[in-house]
Structure 1
Amino acid sequence: METNGNGSQAYIITNSQLGLELDPKDEKDKNENEPKKRNLIFWKCLVFGVFSGYFLWATIYYVQDLKRLSISDSACSGYGCLMILYIFILYGITYTYIIKPYLEKHVLKFLVYPITSCLKKIKYIDQLFSAAFFLGVFGYLIFDTSDNRSRLMPISGLLVFLLIGFLMSNNKKKIPWHTVLWGLKLQFIFGFITIRWNVGRQIFSCIGDKITTFLHYSQEGAKFVYGDTLVLGEINPETNVRDLGGVFAFSGILTVYFMAFMINILYYYGIMQKVVKVIGEFLQMVMDTTICESVNTAANIFLGMTEAPLLLKPYLKNLTNSEINSIMTSGFATVAGSVMAAYISYGADPAALITASVMSAPAALCFSKMMVPETEEVKITKENVDIVENEYESVLDAASQGVSMGLQIVLGICSSVIAFIAFVAFINGILGWMGILVGFSGENQWSLDLIAGKIFIPVSYIMGVPWEDCEKVGKLIGLKTMINEFVAYKTMGEMNLTGRTKMIATYAICGFSNPGSVGILISAMVALIPHKKQAILKTIYKSFIGGALVCFMTACIASMLYPEIALQ
C-alpha cells in the first residue's frame, strides 16, 4: 500500500504478490537490450522504407499500364491486394507509435468510458439487447428460409447442445449468462460476416485460397526429399496424370514442418503475438472473460492445443480451474493452421475450415464458462499480464526450433493415427466375428463405424443434415470422435455427399476432440503446470465433450445461414 501525492492511499498489486518473482538481472538486461531495440527500430524503418518504395513503383506501373483493371478485381491478387496489405501495415505503424501512446487514452476517457457508463445505468440493458438481437436473427431466418423451412431445424440442435452444457455444469448458480449469450451472439455475427455477407465471404474465400497456395509450397521441399510418387501419388496410366493421391505420411501432413517454421519466425519478430493479443483483448472486452483464457482462445484460431498455452507460460501456474477448463475446451474445439492443409488435401473447403475456427473461438469460451463457471479469485488480469517474449537467440534459432516442433507434431499425429486405427480395426474384428455368429455379415456386419453411424443419426439430423445423409455424417462424427479428424476428413472425401451435407460435416468435425488429443493435452498441461494435475484430470473430459459440442453448435449456425444457391 502506498500514499499518493494527494494524501490518499492506493493499493498496488506487485508481481511478487502474484508469485511472479522478478530476476535481479532484469534491470541490467534492460540496459543491455537498449542497443538491440535501437537496431530493431532502424531495421524496421529500413524495411518499411523499401516496401514503401516498392509500393510507389507498383502504383506508377498500375496507373500507366494496368489501369484497365479495377482495384476491386485485383483485391485478392494483384495491385489491389498489395494496396490492402500496405494500408494494414501503415495503420499498424500509426496505431503503435501515434494512436496508442498519445490518442487512445483520451478517446477512452472522453468518449468510450462516458458512453459505456451511461449504457450501464440503463436497467437490464444487456438482457434487452440480447433479446432484441436474437429476435432479429430469428426474424431474419424466418424470412430467409421461406423456400426451405428445414434450415430452421438446427435451432433445436443449438438448444439441445446448450441444455447438455447446462446439465453438465458443476455450479449452475454461478453460470455467467452474459458470457454465454455473447458467445452465441459472436458466433452468429462471425457467421453472418463470413457466410452471408458477400464481401466477407469473398475475403475468407480469398484467405482460404492464399493459405492453400502458401501451404502447397511445402510440397517442393517434400518432393526433393521423398520424390514425386510418395508426395503427389502415382501416375494414372489412363490419363497420364498424378491423380491417385500421395502417401499420408509424406503428403498430407508434411506442411506441418513449413507451418511451424513460419509461425516461429512470426513469433520471433513479434507479429503473431500482436495479432493474438488484439483478438484476445477484443474477446475479453466483449465477453467479460479473463485475459489469459481470452488470449489463449484467440491463439487457438492459429495454433494447436499444446502451442497456444505457451504464450502464457509464466502465468499458467496462477490460473484458476475454470480458466484451465477454458484453455482445454478451446483447444478441443478448434484446429491448428499447421494441419489444415491435410484436411484440404482430402477435399475440405479452405474457407469453411477457417470460418469454423473463427466461429468456434467465442463459442468455446461460452461453453466452458457454462460447464465450469468461475468460483475462484482471478490473479492474472489485463493490468498485470504481458505476453511472454520469445526465448530464441536469432531468427535462425526460431526457425530451426519450429522445424523440431513440427517433427514432434508429425510423429505424434502419425503414431496416434497408427495406434488408434489399429485399435479400431481390432475392435471391428471382434464385433464382426460376434455379428457373424448371429447372422450379421456383409454390409450389415457389426463395426464401430456402423454403430457410430446409428448413434449419431439424431445429432446429425438436429444439425440440419438431410435425413438420407444422416447416417453418413454420423459415421464421420464417430470416426472423428473415436479416432481423429484426419481419418474423418479422408473418409468424407471418399463419400458421395450433397453440397449442404458436406458443408455441415466439414464444420461438425473441425476440432481436436478425439482420444489421442486427450492424451496429448494431459501430457502437455501437466508438464507445464504439474501442481494443477488434479484440476486438469478432473475437468479434461468436460473439456473434451464441450469441444465436440462447440463444433456441433458451429455446424448448426452454418447450416442455418448457408443458402441453397451457395452450395450448388
Structure 2
Amino acid sequence: MNIILGIVAIIVVLVIAYLLSNQRSLINYRGIGVMILAQLLITWFMFSTTIGQTIINGISSVFNKLIEFGNAGVDFILGGVMQAEGGVFFFDVLLLIIFFATILSVLTYLKILPMIIKYLGGLISKITGLPKVESFNAVNSIFFGQSEALIAIRSQFHHLTANRLYIVSASAMGSVSASIVGAYMQMLPAEYVLVALPLNMFSALIIASVIAPVHVPKAEDKVDISDVSNDKSIFEAMGNGALEGGKIALIVGTMLVAFIAALELVNWIIQAIFAGVTLQQILGYVLAPIGFLMGIPASEVIEAGGIMGTKIVTNEFVAMLEFQTLLGQVSEKTVGIVTVFLTSFANFSSIGIIAGTVQGIDREKGGEVSKFGLKLLLGATLASILSATIAGLFI
C-alpha cells in the first residue's frame, strides 16, 4: 500500500510540474526517467545494502570526527564558560559552520572540489542530456551555499536564457551547503540528511527540467572553473573560509531569532482569535493529504505537515529544531521522510537570497528571478516532496 501511495505522490508531483511548464514540447522525458531511476538506485543502495550502509556510516564517522575537531576550536574560545543543560545551540551547532566552511575553502583553493564537481557534473550531463552548466551547478550546489554556487558560474551567465536561469536557481534553492550539513547532523539522523543530498540534487533538476525545459547547442555548452578561487595561498583560503563561515553562522543565528520570534507572534495572534490553534496546526492540515501520499502514517501526518509547512514559511533550521523534539514520539518512517524534506533551502527567504545574488551578477537577470520567485519556491517544494517520497519507499 505504501508503495502505491508513493507512486501516486510521485505522479502528482510530476503532473503539477507539467501543468506549470513553460514549454512542454521541449521536456526531456528520457532524462527525467533516468534521473528518477538514479534516485531509486541510490536510495536502495544506501538504505538496503550492506555496502551502502557501510558508506553512510563511514561518511557519518568522517563528519563526526570533523565535528570533534570543530568543537576543539569552539571549546578554546569559550574558555570554560558554563553552559546550560543540553548545551547552547549557537555554540554547539552554529559555530561548527566556521570549521566546515574553512575546509571547503581550502579544498576549493587546491582545485580538488572544482575538479570533482566538474567531472561529476559532466557525467550527469551525459547520462541525463542536461546542459553542462546546469549539471555542474547542480553538483556545485551540494557543496556550496545558494550565493556561492551561483557566483561560481557567473562567467556563463550571459549564456543563460530565462529557462536555464530557472534551472540553476532551482538547484541552488533545492540543495543545502556542505558547510552546514554538520549542523543538520547535530539535530537530525545523519543517514537521512546524507541521502537527502543526492536525492535533492536530482529532484531539483527533474522538477526544473519539467517546468523550464531547455535545449542548448553543443557550441554553447561549456563550463569554466578557472577562477573559482581568488585566494593566493592556503592560509588565505583558510582565513577567508573561516570569515565566510562566521558570517553564515551569524546570519543563521540572526534569522532564527527573527523567524522564531515572528512565529510566536503569529501564533499569539491566531490564538487570540481561535483558542488553542497554531500556525503549525493549520499548515499541518493543509499539507496532510500530500504527507499521507508521501508515506507518513495517518496518525502522525498533521504534526509532520506542520513541521514541513514551518520550514516553507520560515527556514529549515526553525523546522529542524521543532522536529528534533518529536524524534522519540513519531515512527522511523516519519523521521526519515520529514528529515529528507527539511534538508533543503526551499523557503520564502531563499527567493530574496537568490534574486539578490543574481542581481549582483547581472541586473537584468536578477529582475527575471524576482518575476518567477514564487514559481521557483513551488518547484523547489515539489522537489523536496519528490525526494522525501522516494526515501520513504525504502524506509
Relative to the length of structure 2, the TM-score reads: 0.94
Give the total of aligned pairs. Answer: 393
Aligned match for 2:65, one of 213, 225, 230: 213
2:76 counterpart letter in structure 1: F
Percent of aligned pairs with the same residue? 23
Give 2:307's aligned residue: 476
Q: Distance in 2 between matches of 1:311 and 1:215?
A: 27
Q: CA deviation at 1:488?
A: 1.3
Q: CA deviation at 1:490?
A: 1.3
Q: Could you list the per-position Cα deviations for residues 499-530 of structure 1 after superposition, in whole angstroms to 9, with x for gaps in the alignment?
A: 11111111121111112222222211211222
Give 2:246's aligned residue: 407
Q: Could you list the per-position Cα deviations for residues 456-512 of structure 1 after superposition, in whole angstroms to 9, with x for gaps in the alignment?
A: 111210000111110111011011111111111111111111111111111121111
Give yes or no for contact 2:144–2:178 (8 Å, CA) kept in 1.
yes
Q: Distance in 2 between matches of 1:526 and 1:422?
A: 29
Q: How does 1:112-511 map to 2 (within 5 A)?
A: 149-228=1-80, 233-234=83-84, 244-346=85-187, 348-374=188-214, 380-382=220-222, 385-435=224-274, 441=275, 445-495=276-326, 496-511=329-344
Query: SS of the residue aligned with 2:390?
Result: helix
Give yes or no for contact 2:356–2:366 (8 Å, CA) kept in 1.
no
Query: SS of the residue aligned with 1:300?
Result: helix
1:507 counterpart letter in structure 2: V
2:237 counterpart letter in structure 1: A
Q: Which has the larger radius of gyration?
A: 1
Give yes or no for contact 2:316–2:344 (8 Å, CA) kept in 1.
yes
Q: How does 1:97-108 map to 2 (within 5 A)?
A: none
Farther off after superposition, 335-344 or 155-164: 335-344
Q: CA deviation at 1:175?
A: 1.7
Q: CA deviation at 1:229?
A: 5.2
1:193 counterpart letter in structure 2: F
1:480 counterpart letter in structure 2: K
Q: How does 1:81-100 map to 2 (within 5 A)?
A: none
Query: SS of the residue aligned with 1:289?
Result: coil
Change (3 A) 1:317 1:408: farther
**Structure 1 residue runs without a partner (length 5+):** 1-148, 235-243, 436-440, 563-568
Aligned match for 2:353, one of 500, 520, 525: 520
Q: Could you list the per-position Cα deviations for residues 534-561 of structure 1 after superposition, in whole angstroms to 9, with x for gaps in the alignment?
A: 2211222222111121111111111112
Change (3 A) 1:198 1:387: farther
Q: Distance in 2 between matches of 1:408 and 1:319?
A: 29
Give yes or no for contact 1:371–1:542 (8 Å, CA) kept in 2.
no
Give yes or no for contact 1:191–1:561 (8 Å, CA) kept in 2.
yes
In the alignment, does 2:368 pair up with 1:535?
yes
Give yes or no for contact 1:311–1:387 (8 Å, CA) kept in 2.
no
**Considering only aligned residues, what root-mean-square deviation do their CA atoms show, in Å?**
1.9
Change (3 A) 1:377 1:430: farther
Change (3 A) 1:404 1:503: same
Q: CA deviation at 1:227?
A: 4.3
Q: CA deviation at 1:152?
A: 3.3
Give yes or no for contact 2:155–2:224 (8 Å, CA) kept in 1.
no
Query: SS of the residue aligned with 1:317?
Result: helix
Q: Distance in 2 between matches of 1:385 and 1:363?
A: 25
Q: Distance in 2 between matches of 1:471 and 1:228?
A: 42
Aligned match for 1:559, one of 388, 392, 395: 392
Q: CA deviation at 1:377?
A: 6.4
Q: CA deviation at 1:386?
A: 4.5
Query: SS of the residue aligned with 1:477?
Result: helix
**Structure 2 residue runs without a partner (length 5+):** none
Q: CA deviation at 1:180?
A: 1.8
Query: SS of the residue aligned with 1:251?
Result: helix
Change (3 A) 1:389 1:500: closer
Q: Distance in 2 between matches of 1:320 and 1:212?
A: 42
Q: Distance in 1 between matches of 2:266 and 2:366?
A: 31
Q: Distance in 2 between matches of 1:284 and 1:473?
A: 35
